[in-house]
Amino acid sequence: GAGVSQSPSNKVTEKGKDVELRCDPISGHTALYWYRQSLGQGLEFLIYFQGNSAPDKSGLPSDRFSAERTGGSVSTLTIQRTQQEDSAVYLCASSSLRGGIETQYFGPGTRLLVL
Amino acid sequence: DAKTTQPPSMDCAEGRAANLPCNHSTISGNEYVYWYRQIHSQGPQYIIHGLKNNETNEMASLIITEDRKSSTLILPHATLRDTAVYYCIVREYNFNKFYFGSGTKLNVKP
């Protein structure tokens, strides 16, 4: 079946511009996660959604970052007034609980380059 | 907040077993051990998870010590395609923050 998809796969933008990154989770998955991975680094947790709600937004690096999820499905991560340090791969994952166990399935990521 | 400690890198000869250790000395009773891997330029991939019993699936085996303070992921016959960063994660079963830590870079060599 279809996995997690993200768009765009690559994004080049100029410093100061806003960008929107999209995540389409696996159908029926109630939880959705956003991570950031800078070059050669591990994954940095940003935010997760349970349904349309985000119980914990503390991982967002600054108030320039925001995310929303509508209809319990698609999520959008928005970065306003982008900075060069925002350049990274942004990964999305979705999951559901089966027998009390959660397994996250990741998308291919969006590679963001801020010039 | 990773709650796990892994060696930064390991080498393994192709065809041999790869044994990747993970320390999680502060694990609590309701936390599971998960393993994921990330092949270069791809999103992380789920491998296996366990609570206190040893587990095996088509990809790997997971050995958890009796006190649950450490575990070992075993790839029984490593191939070049198993070269990746392997992440050991502990967390509760419900949805929550998911910390990946730095992982172990496994280099499988011919």
pLDDT given at position B101: 81
pLDDT given at position B95: 56
pLDDT given at position B13: 97
**Total beta-carbon pairs less than 8 A apart between chain A and chain B:** 56
pLDDT given at position B93: 59
Instruction: Report the alpha-carbon distance of residue B22 to residue B19 in Å, rounded.
Output: 10
pLDDT given at position A56: 79
pLDDT given at position A37: 93
Higher pLDDT, B62 or A104: B62
Nearest residue in B to A59, CA atom: B97
Token readout for B106 is 């496994």
Instruction: Report the alpha-carbon distance of residue A24 to residue A5 in Å, rounded.
Output: 5
User: In this structure, are residues B26 and B110 in contact, taking their beta carbons and an 8 Å threshold?
Assistant: no
pLDDT given at position B94: 62
A22: helix, coil or strand?
A: strand
- Range from A94-108, B47-61, B67-81 carrying the lowest mean pLDDT: A94-108
Mean pLDDT of A77-81: 98
Nearest residue in B to A39, CA atom: B41
Mean pLDDT of B40-55: 90
Q: From the list A45, A102, A105, which residue is nearest B95 (CB)? A: A102
Instruction: Report the alpha-carbon distance of residue A34 to residue A26 in Å, rounded.
Output: 14
Task: Show residues of chain B in contact with A45, CB under 8 Å.
Answer: 97-100
pLDDT digits (tens, 9 = 90+) for A28-61: 898 899 999 998 888 888 999 988 888 878 889 9
Buried residues in A17-49 as b, exposed as e (16+ CB within 10 A): eebebebbbbeebbbbbbbbbeeeebbbbbbbb
pLDDT digits (tens, 9 = 90+) for A86-110: 999 999 999 877 766 778 899 999 9
Q: Please list, in sequence order, all residues whose beta carbon lies within 8 angstroms of the beta carbon of residue B97, skipping any fewer than 6 positions away.
A: A45, A48, A56, A59, B1, B91
Count other C-beta atoms under 10 Å from residue B6's C-beta. Answer: 22
Opening angle at CA A41, ends A37 and A44, nearest 5: 45
CA-atom Rg of chain A in angstroms: 14
